[in-house]
Structure 1
Amino acid sequence: MSNQYFSPCPRGLEALLVDELTRLGASDVEQVPGGVAFSGDWPLCWRVNLESRIATRVLWRVGQTRYRSEEEIYKLAYATTWAKWFTPDETIRIYLTAIRSPLKSLNFATLRIKDGLCDHFRTVTGKRPSVDTEAPDVRVQAFITADTCTLYIDTSGEPLYKRGFKRAKVEAPLKENLAAGILKLSGWQPDEPLLDPMCGSGSFLIEAAQIALDIAPGSGRSFGFEKLKSCDAAEWQRLRGKVLQRRQPNRQLEIFGSDIDPRQVAASESNLAAAGLAGLVQLMDADVLDLEAPAPEGVWVTNPPYGVRLSTGEELAEWYPKLGDALKRRFAGWRAYFLTADLDIAKRIGLKASKRTPLFNSDLECRLFEYKLVAGQNRD
């Protein structure tokens, strides 16, 4: 049986998600701002949750109606056959997103969806599920436009960028699916050296290592669909085992990470170890301005911690030109990629960007700047 799904993703990565879903076997793939709609059977849903590096969630569409008031939304929730898919013993939470909705209170609309779902269970089973706002077994997503309400069951549970292993956190972390998307946009291949000179918690390093070793990004976690009646546990475990068997043996990788702050390096080291990648990535304490290229060619990728460790505009104004000089002196032959919301970097760094890709880190509008570094005379 073919189901209808929607996968949100970081804005700017929709085309990459289309390619990924198509490769995994999705049909009726349609890109929209902020995500991709597609069709497929349950094994496809399982594979996307397990293998997608770009998707944030996999939402299964279970109901849709046109509406003019909260009463029509309640009727949709009541008529949806929830009891076919999970039991009242599972806890629930309702999430609602709206665009151009005429309703006066989205909180009230959320409450009416919850009422309709619970009344459905009371009618069918004589028992209603409980609400758990912290760790629900089943997450119901509602999407409301000016005249349409669509209901989804979230088959992922926790968002997919939560790979299930990170222990050490840092300020302004980069979400894993955005890091994976940036690696894809850079054109990096596993046989190329990769360097993140401001590595923070190690998102780029871990995603690159998992790509190099063909490790499924969801291999260390569970998913929401495992709580549903439609999940054939034996078939799911067979599929999961087959995907996990592709993992290559651990080996030393041409992936390098550094940071001027030893605490950041320690965070990367801790997270790499938690992901089963201890010792595979080369880490060092170093100022990015003093780094030497670890290879004649490669990919430099980073999310500069502007405004975090360099707190004043004057410090930034002095630092970016020095960074441009260091890149040109020591990294000729490399491709450099900077994700930043500081759009003045292009003027300050003193290098000509060959590409500027708009991306969003959560709700923060950013640019991914590409610099193709060639040998030449330094600036005065």
Structure 2
Amino acid sequence: MSKKYTIIATAAMGLEAIVAKEVKTLGYDATVENGKVIFKGDELAIARCNLWLRSADRVKIVVGEFKVFTFDELFEKTKALNWGEYLPVDAELPVQGKSVKSKLFSVPDCQAIVKKAIVEKLKSHYKVTSWLSESGPLFKIEVSILKDIATITIDTSGIGLHKRGYRVDQGEAPIKETLAAALIQLTNWNPEKPFCDPFCGSGTIPIEAALIGQNIAPGFNREFISETWSWMGQAVWDQARMEAEDLANYDQPLQIIGSDIDHRMIDIAKGNAMEAGFSDLINFKQMQVTDFTSKEEFGVLVGNPPYGERLGERQEVERMYEAMGKTFAKLDTWSIYILTSYEKFEEVYGKKATKKRKLFNGFIRTDLYQFWGPKPPKKY
């Protein structure tokens, strides 16, 4: 019988509910806390979540959680955990740490103590007296102390989940793939509707839309750190990947357009789309946002335009937002979603949003302005 683990899917602030919905879609009951979604699952759940979670940052296993007020407590309680169930004798085990509002505030000391405790437990478990070689598979361990409660986890993802593997080049300030996927999931888009990103940059939002539209697991073409762990087993990963392959709908037709004023970015976007396998599916074109028109109805437009964060850019961005408002007003059946940090966006754009949602683009606090179009007529 498979072992049940407590699993954490970490998420950027504001995306927790989206990640929780993704976890529940995979069949696991989840609870939401700040920056993370917690659920129970076996080895297959770990593999599935790494392959499928579009908006999460990482998937971690909780090895232990306990109150801690002294370094001696941290050492003894860490050593008491069943490290032999997770780590082989030759495991490479770097320890990262963070501490917030806790008596044990020295992160380097906490890291060193946790590492020493794990090493001592492994030496006892494997009955070795010499120093451990750390020449085997990598296990990235984290000790996180919040309000004197220590949570010790192992990262199963390795490189962050936003690294899908298709981005061969990018511009100056690319949107993270995980945020791009979340923006699309916050819209009313489905593969039957036309989709447009008029500020496509390196093509991340259109490519994520294509992945969603054809139900392709975002992690299908990359590797994960836990694939090297003997207790995960190759059979588990083979099963998870076979499931993903069976669920993909490569024949689903899509109407996805990405445009940008910079022809260099269009070339980059085309290269990234080719790497992702969507060169024939996504139509990239160089043009100004004010030139966008469409005869299609009930489409969805998602844009991450320049924010005008620098003083010299503010007036230029305001003019662009005003022109956008006039251009998009002609798309009277479309739903428009714009992400920006500019607080007076609605005023300059010329229309009040149906709904606003606070999100973070990296460290920048932004709002997703949602302008909902009418519902299409029912098909009989």
TM-score if structure 1 supplies the norm length? 0.90
Cα gap change, 1:129 to 1:72, in 2 (>3 Å): farther
Q: Which residue of 1 is the match for residue 117 of structure 2?
A: 116
Task: Give the count of matched residue pairs.
Answer: 369
* Structure 2 counterpart of 1:368, one-letter code: L
Task: Supply the distance in 1 between the matched residues of 2:159 and 2:295 (Cα, whole angstroms).
Answer: 37
State the 1:310 CA deviation. Answer: 9.6
Task: Supply the distance in 1 between the matched residues of 2:309 and 2:171 (Cα, whole angstroms).
Answer: 11
**Bigger shift: 282-291 or 106-115?**
106-115
Q: 1:201-212 maps to which residues of 2 (within 5 A)?
A: 201-212=202-213
Contact 2:110 2:143 in 1 (8 A): no
SS at match of 1:92: coil
State the 1:86 CA deviation. Answer: 2.6
Q: What per-residue deviation string (whole Å, max 9, x for no partner) do you get for residues 281-324 of structure 1?
A: 00100000111125233001011122389952221232221111
Cα gap change, 1:59 to 1:279, in 2 (>3 Å): same
Q: Which residue of 2 is the match for residue 13 of structure 1?
A: 15
Cα gap change, 1:235 to 1:152, in 2 (>3 Å): same
* Structure 1 counterpart of 2:318, one-letter code: A
State the 1:124 CA deviation. Answer: 3.6
Q: Which residue of 2 is the match for residue 358 of structure 1?
A: 358
Contact 1:250 1:277 in 2 (8 A): no
* Structure 2 counterpart of 1:152, one-letter code: T
Q: Does 1:50 align with 2:51?
A: yes
Q: What per-residue deviation string (whole Å, max 9, x for no partner) do you get for residues 154-188 of structure 1?
A: 11111111112211122221111211111111121
State the 1:280 CA deviation. Answer: 0.9
Task: Supply the distance in 1 between the matched residues of 2:135 and 2:112 (Cα, whole angstroms).
Answer: 11
Long gaps (5+) in structure 2: 375-380
State the 1:363 CA deviation. Answer: 2.7
State the 1:190 CA deviation. Answer: 1.0
TM-score if structure 2 supplies the norm length? 0.90
Q: Which residue of 1 is the match for residue 246 of structure 2?
A: 245
Task: Supply the distance in 2 between the matched residues of 1:223 and 1:107 (Cα, whole angstroms).
Answer: 27
Q: Which residue of 1 is the match for residue 26 of structure 2?
A: 24
CA RMSD of aligned residues (A): 2.2
Task: Supply the distance in 1 between the matched residues of 2:291 and 2:240 (Cα, whole angstroms).
Answer: 47
Task: Supply the distance in 1 between the matched residues of 2:364 and 2:90 (Cα, whole angstroms).
Answer: 39
* Structure 2 counterpart of 1:247, one-letter code: A
* Structure 2 counterpart of 1:59, one-letter code: K
State the 1:4 CA deviation. Answer: 0.8
Contact 1:92 1:131 in 2 (8 A): no
Task: Supply the distance in 2 between the matched residues of 1:34 and 1:77 (Cα, whole angstroms).
Answer: 24
**Bigger shift: 241-250 or 297-306?**
241-250
State the 1:232 CA deviation. Answer: 2.2
Q: Does 1:92 align with 2:93?
A: yes
State the 1:68 CA deviation. Answer: 0.9
Cα gap change, 1:256 to 1:32, in 2 (>3 Å): same
* Structure 2 counterpart of 1:185, one-letter code: L
Task: Supply the distance in 2 between the matched residues of 1:237 and 1:192 (Cα, whole angstroms).
Answer: 33
Q: 1:46-195 maps to which residues of 2 (within 5 A)?
A: 46-125=47-126, 126=128, 127-130=131-134, 137-195=138-196
* Structure 2 counterpart of 1:361, one-letter code: N
* Structure 2 counterpart of 1:66, one-letter code: K
Runs of 4+ with >6 A deviation: none
Contact 2:61 2:153 in 1 (8 A): yes
Q: Does 1:297 align with 2:301?
A: no
Contact 1:56 1:177 in 2 (8 A): yes
Cα gap change, 1:294 to 1:216, in 2 (>3 Å): farther
* Structure 1 counterpart of 2:141, one-letter code: V
* Structure 2 counterpart of 1:347, one-letter code: E
Q: Which residue of 2 is the match for residue 4 of structure 1?
A: 6
State the 1:217 CA deviation. Answer: 0.8
SS at match of 1:186: coil
SS at match of 2:19: helix
Task: Supply the distance in 1 between the matched residues of 2:146 and 2:369 (Cα, whole angstroms).
Answer: 34
SS at match of 2:94: strand
Q: 1:271-310 maps to which residues of 2 (within 5 A)?
A: 271-293=272-294, 295-307=296-308
Contact 1:293 1:331 in 2 (8 A): yes
Q: Which residue of 2 is the match for residue 371 of structure 1?
A: 371
**Bigger shift: 310-319 or 58-67?**
310-319
State the 1:257 CA deviation. Answer: 0.3
Contact 1:17 1:54 in 2 (8 A): yes
State the 1:104 CA deviation. Answer: 3.9
Q: 1:193-342 maps to which residues of 2 (within 5 A)?
A: 193-249=194-250, 253-293=254-294, 295-307=296-308, 311-328=312-329, 330-342=330-342
Cα gap change, 1:56 to 1:131, in 2 (>3 Å): farther
* Structure 1 counterpart of 2:23, one-letter code: L
SS at match of 1:312: helix
